[in-house]
Amino acid sequence: MNLNLLTAHELSESLRSAKITSAHILSDLKDRFDKVEPKVRAYARQPFFKKSSSRNSVDAQLNGIPVSIKDNICSDGDLTECASRILSGFVAPYDATVVKKLKEQGALIFGKTNMDEFAFGSSCENSSFYPTRNPWDLERVPGGSSGGSAAAVAADEAILALGSDTGGSIRQPAALCGVVGLKPTYGRVSRYGLIAFASSLDQIGPMTKDVRDNALLLKVIAGHDKNDATSVDIPVPDYVRSLEKGVRGMRVGIPKEYFVEGMDPEVRQALNDAKAKLESFGVQFGEVSLPHTEYAVAVYYIIATAEASSNLARFDGVQYGFRASHKSVEKEPALISMYKQTRAEGFGQEAKRRIILGTYVLSSGYYDAYYSRALKVRALIKEDFDKVLGEFDLILTPTSPSPAFKIGEKTDDPLSMYLSDIYTISVNLAGLPALSMPCGFTKSGLPIGMQILGKPFAEEDIFRLAFAYEQNTLWHKMKPKL
């Protein structure tokens, strides 16, 4: 059997009993990469096929397991370019905390995956390298912005992957590619070394072939970090051990605002089927209301772009990355010309659009009307969730209103692209954990995802429900024909 098809928990067992070595895994991954990568283009650049673990201990939780990480997560000595021209040639001089933790547990940093530039997008079409394609239909997008990680896992070019999620960037591509993706509670995983998009929304999370791997990977990367003041000092539970605790009596809310007209009928049907299945395990469902849902996209695009405009200011051609070979402009100081030309040539269209939006909403005279108000509505959105999660353990929703769309279908219509995150954005605004997992396929063979939301730091509950569902379905075993 090709080892690249296996999960980390399966491989770990074989590694421990010395039936295989991590070199075998790497070699099988290479064969797969050579075969499918030219079609899928999940990686930002060539992965490392010859790597050995810095640690070699049996009790290391990911000993010898290759992990693919999104191109916005720094790893010491490796190119980390956020799929942006402006960071071309940037070699991170340090490990992100998640990378440090992975290495401590014996994992191999296998390669960096493609993404929308600076995580701005829902389709991976905004990469300055090339668009990644959906392994289930190469004419379609894998979702974004962690589309490379999702596609790599779905195409069995990766064992485990990390993505980052600011408004759905882990969950939406997980849904579109038929893999499991978790956005942890804000503060659960250190952001140190994650190249920031929107600091108050960003979280790194695991993207995997099944729920058990997801729990395993979260356990390794989670925890308080003294280098990230927004990480929270709450003990990390053993997510894997609590998977099998069962779901009988769990209360799950279904928000009526999420099942609106225009929603893809096949997505609606898949969700209804999943609900019926879970009911048969003794899960209790109830309709709930999240009344401020309709403002989430607007609030998100104010707060996220405001923070992004400031976070991306440092890309100016001075210290690192791309600098335009600038021409002097009459009556303009050379420094100003350098800034302007570097940023004009270095950023892609969507990055520029968001920087301009964010700069606008923070400008004096507009701050109160936009940013300040958005913060207030953000608090209301969080209150909506607090209320519902006071009565229910979890919330179940679709992950995306439709399955994977065609490449080029939404590139000229940013607003319709923004709306593809309509079900995932509120979760980031509220700082909650949420997981997307496959719950069916369309007639044309595209994966459909469902989203399970939980209380802050209650990833265990989410995993329990997800695991119970997965144990009784076969969606996660389906493989795309490539």
Partner 1 sequence: MEYEPVIGLEVHVQLKTKTKAFCGCANEFGSKENSNICPVCLGLPGSLPVLNSQVLVSAAKVALALNGTIRNFIKFDRKNYFYPDLPKNFQISQFDMPLSEHGYMDIKVDGQAKRIAIKRVHLEEDAGKLIHPEGTACSLVDFNRAGTPLLEIVSEPDLHSPEDAYVYLSDLKLALQYIGVSDCDMEKGSLRCDANISVRPVGQIKLGTKAELKNMNSFKAVRTALEFEFKRQVKSLEAGERIVQETRLWDEKKEATFSMRSKEEAHDYRYFPEPDLPPFTFTDADIKGIRKSLPELPKERLGRFVASFGFGEKDAAVLISDKELADFFEACLKIYNEPKKIANWLIGPVLSHLKSNLSFEALHLSPENLTKIISLVEDGTVSNLAGKSILAEVVETGKPPDTIVREKNLGQVSDVDELKKIIEEVAAVNMRSVDDYAAGKENALMFLVGQVMRKSGGKANPKIARDLLAERLKKT
Q: Which residues are designated catalytic? A: 70, 145, 169
| Helix and strand totals (H; E) in the chain | 14, 10
Q: What burial class does residue 376 get, using C-beta atoms within 10 Å of its C-beta: 0-12 exposed, 13-18 middle, 19+ buried?
A: exposed
**Tokens (6 digits) for 104:** 């401590």
Specify the residue, 29 or 198, whose C-beta has the smaller distance to partner 1. Answer: 198
Specify the residue, 151 or 304, whose C-beta has the smaller distance to partner 1. Answer: 304
| Least Å from the CB of residue 69 to partner 1 | 12
Contacts of 453 (CB under 8 A, 6+ apart): 385, 394, 395, 396, 397, 427, 432, 433, 434, 462
| Least Å from the CB of residue 351 to partner 1 | 14
**Cα angle for residues 46, 49, 55 (degrees, 5° grid):** 125
Cβ distance 118 to 351 under 8 Å?
yes
Which is it for strands 180-183 and 66-70: parallel, antiparallel or unpaired? Answer: unpaired
Q: How far apart are the first and last CA of the chain?
A: 17
| Phi and psi torsions of 38, nearest 5° | -55, -25
Specify the residue, 116 or 157, whose C-beta has the smaller distance to partner 1. Answer: 116
Specify the residue, 80 or 451, whose C-beta has the smaller distance to partner 1. Answer: 80
Nearest Cα neighbor of 404 from 132, 127, 141 is 141
Specify the residue, 65 or 195, whose C-beta has the smaller distance to partner 1. Answer: 195
Q: Which residues pair with 218 in a beta bridge?
A: none
Contacts of 325 (CB under 8 A, 6+ apart): none
Catalog residues that contact partner 1 under the rule CB under 8 A.
Answer: 72-74, 80, 82, 87, 90, 92-94, 96, 191-196, 198-200, 226-230, 306-307, 309-310, 313-316, 318-320, 335, 339, 359, 362-364, 367, 371
**H helical segments located in 18-81:** 22-40
| Least Å from the CB of residue 330 to partner 1 | 16
Q: What burial class does residue 348 get, using C-beta atoms within 10 Å of its C-beta: 0-12 exposed, 13-18 middle, 19+ buried?
A: buried
Specify the residue, 59 or 233, whose C-beta has the smaller distance to partner 1. Answer: 233
